[in-house]
Structure 1
Amino acid sequence: MKIIIADDEHLIRLSIRHNLEKLNIRGLQTYEATDGLELLRELEQLKPDIAFVDIKMPLLSGLDAIEKGKLLSPHTEFVILTGFSEFDYARKAIALRVNEYLLKPVSLDQFKSVMNNISELFTRKTAESSRLFALQIAEAVADKASVEDTHLPPEGLNCKLLAVCFDSFKDTNLTDAEAWLDNARKCIEPYLSRHFRITILKPRDNERVLVFGIDKDEHNSNANLLSCLSDIRHMTKTWRKEKGSVTLVTGSTLPFRLFFTSYTVLLKATCLRALLGISVDYSQSFLQFISVDKPQFMQVCALLIELPRYQQTQRYIDFTTAIEQIIALIEGERLHENIRVIRPAAIYMRCAIGLAVEPDISYSLLKNELLLYCKRMLSSRTDRSHIIRSVIAYADARYAEEISVAKVAERFEISPNYLSALFHKETGKRFVEYVAQLRMKEAQRLLSETDLSVHEITRKVGLYSTSHFSKLFTKYYKVSPQEYKRNTNPQPYGELD
């Protein structure tokens, strides 16, 4: 807390300083002014929290200095210390909204009472400032807008982002996140002030972003921010030993007008922890360098990070598709030859989705475990409606491939006859009819919206005979694909059921 003592008597200033020091005020910094003009210079430069001001001072009276000083440092709380009890002085002090009007000599108990009252006032103002800050940031993120479009003063405010990622398995994840945040708030609370604000965003269930707002003109803001981040990292180091995985990614300190850009880039970069290693501290600049230098990492990690969400929401087809894409990317980019990539990936999947593998597992074994995991996941539910929903989702994703009842039945570990009967009973259609409809709808779209030839479209929808495709399309739309394509303003000739 910064306090200015403005009085032309040295002994008075010394007495006030000693009384303040006896109160053990956290972060106390005291400054002195011997006349009204010096007080104005200090107010403009220091922007103090509190100013103790004598009424009678050389060059400019205390009351006149307060009147002008409120324009230079509008957030400063002023306390008058005077030997004059005349009503006119008190009336002007009230008009200037001076916090306290004290008659000399002032006892230690009076100082203590004044400081307690001002401290409570600061607490209320800090809470209101934090509430408004949180609201404005939430609106900016929801609207995907620049902070310049809100009422925040970007020219006077810097931001610092800290992403926190929790990769525990299943239900413990959210519990761990809230417990860690409670500890983080205890680290942050001593630093909160009108110069130092904080809000917490939740972009995903297992990720939080701490948004710090600090005033550029406040001399101690950067030092307080560094101390606060150091406290959080120290707490997190202990947390990892006792509780579990927490990954921190620290952004650069930037003007608030760059907040949304930095926030978007940070969220994208956090996924790299899946291949670089979880429960580690990273800088955003380092992860951005990796994303540019090794773009294949980003592709794999973007898929890996989605696995817990697919698992928790029982989107097993999406989960399996993502695993197959991950395997294809790893092998296509020859990442499986690098143990420094496979080991972090195995650890991530063990923590995030509960895959029962050891960190030093070979890639071939990891691949087999993943495929078996997908197979067990797909066949784990016996509910008939759930099975058919999963089969439909599988067909929707794979209709352009070679797909058959036998292949799908093998994937879900049920007999082809049972699958055919169950599918017809639940949907009223045969499986092959459903796949054909998917293919024809996509063919209709491609004929309308692209310049692809009929032969190319045949391949795009998973068929290999152009004549068979033409017969099928004509069956559904009562017109050949060639005639449909020639129509200058193609309109659907019919809708598929």
Structure 2
Amino acid sequence: MKILIADDELLVRRSIRMFLTDLGVRPDDMVETGDGFGLVEAIGGSHFDLALVDIRMPGMDGLEAVRRARETAGETDFYILSGFDDFKYAQEAIRLGVKDYILKPVRRADLEKIVENTISALEQRRALLLENLNLATAALLNIPGYTAHFPVPCRPVLIADDAPAQPFSVSELLAVDNDRITVIAHRDGGYVLLFLFETPEYPGYCREYLKDLAERYQSGHTLVEGRKFRDGTCWEEDYKRMRTLACLRSACGGRRLYPRTCLPPVDSRDFLPVCRCCETCLETYGKSDYAGFTLACEALLKSLEPVRQSHPGRAGNISRYLAEAFGLKDQSPEGLKSGLLMAAATFSASSKDFQYEEITAYIDRHYAEDLSLTGLAGMYGLSPNYFSTLFKKKAGCNFIHYLTSLRIAESKRLLLETNLTIREIAERVGYYSASFFIRSFKKAEEITPSEYRRKG
């Protein structure tokens, strides 16, 4: 959320900035200006979700600045801050569509309410946008020839698992607070496809987000960047390129990012079948499918042999890839065979071994910490995929939902029984961003934390 503070008094601007920072607003998401001309110029050059505007400013007063800014402001919420309790000012502000007229000195409670109202409106618009984008991207994947028309450019990223014991977790990715980008995720076969959409407040952020994705995930995953598009005209051709590169990763190099300009090798058809067998091995292993994994391993070893003769370098890459994926020491044909059979033996664990009560007791004690499904699964010697399946079967909900319900329940108690600020409560229950806590609370309870406290 980006906020513009327009007031000619430096101390007032600093006081408002201090309050907003305490509410969890990032310092780099706040812009200050001391006059009406600065307000018009700032809004004309960037998108702001909220503008706090003083009426009496030199050169151009706040009302005139709001009137001019309205032409380019889009969905900015304007709030007038004034030391004058004048009905004419308030009447003009209402005529301009200003959200509210707040008398100075501005109280912390006033700003808290303004921030919550803005976040609530943003979440409503965001929910509608997510619904529309989910439908459009699903159609893009499932309806041949479908032409999408997105409001902002889309940058797709395909993610494939290179370590079958650590599958990519969509729920954990989406649970991380990031209001600078809209992420739509779909599973397509053994891949996760992310559609990245920039928000108007942060143009150009997609590149930074993709770089962060690569740094966080390429130690156990391969990422393939797609070409940016809005109407989907070239989508099918480019998605075929992305899937081919992902499939070829065992021969061409996994655990890396393939840029949008990368094309499959010209001789890839010679070793594509063995790469597909390799993919099937990883996919069936991730599903704990003993029969499917065993058959896939047999097909893989059989198809790998002729590639050793025709493309020894590619065959060597595939052997190393399998050794890394399944933790094998011997990359010889016999070593791969015995190692893959040993990997299949791990499927013998049953749900009876799942220590549900112990796991939930641990979550109940540590919910305010930085818990992750992958970390918990590792603590109990299970793959994240297997852990997630068993947890949902026992709990009736997924891990993220269970964790969130604990945090929201404790935050409700603290809201009613203490005088802690919203930011302090957010930190106590495991949210390191007050704005993300407010959005999560609103999504769960359909009212903001302050409204819940007032009604309590």
- Counterpart code for 1:360: D
User: Paired residue for 2:137?
Assistant: 137
Task: Check 1:290–1:75 CA distance in 2 against 1; reply closer, same or farther (3 A cut).
Answer: same
User: Paired residue for 1:282?
Assistant: 257
1:315 Cα shift?
7.8
- Counterpart code for 1:123: E
Q: Distance in 2 between matches of 1:317 and 1:223?
A: 40
1:161 Cα shift?
1.1
Residue from 179, 194, 204 that aligns with 1:192: 179
Structure possessing the higher radius of gyration over alpha carbons: 1
Residue from 229, 241, 245 that aligns with 2:213: 229
Q: TM-score, normalized by length of structure 1?
A: 0.56
1:4 Cα shift?
1.6
User: Paired residue for 2:437?
Assistant: none
Q: Deviations over 1:15-56 (max 9, x none)?
A: 433433444423543323333333211101121222111234
Task: Check 1:28–1:125 CA distance in 2 against 1; reply closer, same or farther (3 A cut).
Answer: farther
Do 1:201 and 1:210's aligned partners in 2 also have CA atoms closer than 8 Å? yes
Q: Aligned residues, how many?
A: 337
User: Paired residue for 1:4?
Assistant: 4
Matched, 1:43 2:43: yes
Task: Check 1:184–1:337 CA distance in 2 against 1; reply closer, same or farther (3 A cut).
Answer: closer
- Counterpart code for 2:257: Y
Do 1:34 and 1:57's aligned partners in 2 also have CA atoms closer than 8 Å? yes
* Secondary structure of 1:75 counterpart: coil
Q: Distance in 2 between matches of 1:231 and 1:367?
A: 30
Q: Distance in 1 between matches of 2:30 and 2:105?
A: 20
Q: Which runs of 5+ in 2 are unaligned?
A: 343-456
Matched, 1:218 2:202: yes
Q: Deviations over 1:370-409 (max 9, x none)?
A: 9x99xxxxxxxxxxxxxxxxxxxxxxxxxxxxxxxxxxxx
Do 1:162 and 1:250's aligned partners in 2 also have CA atoms closer than 8 Å? yes
User: Paired residue for 2:353?
Assistant: none
* Secondary structure of 1:71 counterpart: coil
Q: Deviations over 1:78-119 (max 9, x none)?
A: 111123333343344334432332012212232223223323
Matched, 1:126 2:103: no
User: Paired residue for 1:330?
Assistant: 307
Q: Deviations over 1:409-465 (max 9, x none)?
A: xxxxxxxxxxxxxxxxxxxxxxxxxxxxxxxxxxxxxxxxxxxxxxxxxxxxxxxxx
Do 1:343 and 1:360's aligned partners in 2 also have CA atoms closer than 8 Å? no
Q: Distance in 2 between matches of 1:177 and 1:65?
A: 52
User: Paired residue for 1:161?
Assistant: 157
Q: Report the identity percentage.
A: 22
Q: Deviations over 1:297-321 (max 9, x none)?
A: 3343134324567895978999699
Q: TM-score, normalized by length of structure 2?
A: 0.60
- 1:71-470 aligned within 5 A: 71-145=71-145, 149-153=147-151, 156-165=152-161, 168=164, 177=167, 180-186=169-175, 189-193=176-180, 196-204=181-189, 206-215=190-199, 218-219=202-203, 221-222=205-206, 225=209, 228-229=212-213, 232-233=216-217, 237=219, 246-251=220-225, 254-257=228-231, 259-276=235-252, 280-284=255-259, 288-289=262-263, 291-292=265-266, 294-306=268-280, 323=300, 326-327=303-304, 329-330=306-307, 333-335=310-312, 339-345=316-322, 358-363=328-333, 365=334
- Counterpart code for 1:335: P
Do 1:199 and 1:210's aligned partners in 2 also have CA atoms closer than 8 Å? yes
If asked which structure has higher relative contact order (CA below 8 Å, sep 6+), I would say 2
1:215 Cα shift?
4.3
Q: Distance in 1 between matches of 2:25 and 2:158?
A: 29
